[in-house]
Amino acid sequence: MSGERNYFRKSFFGGFNCDDVVKYISKLANERNEYRSAKAAVEAEAKALADEIQPLRIDVENAKREMEEEREAKVKAELLSQTLTDEAEALRQEVKEARLEAEEERIARHKAEQDVQNLTRDIETLSRELIDVKCEADEGRVFKAEALESRDKVAKLEAISKNFADLEPAIENLREAFNA
């Protein structure tokens, strides 16, 4: 209904002009029909929008669920990544320690081999000296001071021989470990 004001003309016999009243009623009926049509169009559009909203709501819920699953997967992946990083670092540390141990063992083995070589040379030298001393003693050319010195050398030689005898199992173990 429009905001205009309608006036009815008066009729000669009293009342209002019939044509004016009919026109006014027709106009009201037309406006009512227009409003009904507009209402029906708006209701149809509202129903169509409501019908569109439901699938969109489902899509939004699915998207939220997928987003939550992705977030959970990301958190799990980050935890797994951190765990693997920690394990890799621990393994790197173990490898580093094992390499240090191997290097220390190699150095110890090398030192033991040098000690064995030095002791072998000392034993050979002292053995020759002992043989020389025994020969001189047998011939009777040894003086008392030389005899005492020889005894010291013999004692040293016997001590070295004892040390060498004590080292022989360790040397054999090192040789076996080195050859293995």
Measured N-to-C along each axis, helices 144-179 and 18-139 cross at an angle, to the nearest 10 degrees, of 150
Return the structure tokens found at 114. Answer: 């040098």
Round to whole Å and give the CA distance between 162 and 71: 74
Q: Is the pLDDT of residue 134 over 50?
A: yes
For 70-104, write each residue's pLDDT tens digit: 999 999 999 999 999 999 999 999 999 999 999 99
pTM for this entry: 0.39
Q: Which of 151, 157, 175 is nearest to 121 (CA)?
A: 157
Query: What is the average pLDDT score of the chain?
Result: 83
Is-contact 167 119, C-beta < 8 A? yes
Of 58 and 162, which is predicted with more confidence?
Answer: 58
Q: Which has the closest alpha carbon to 130: 145, 148, 151?
A: 151
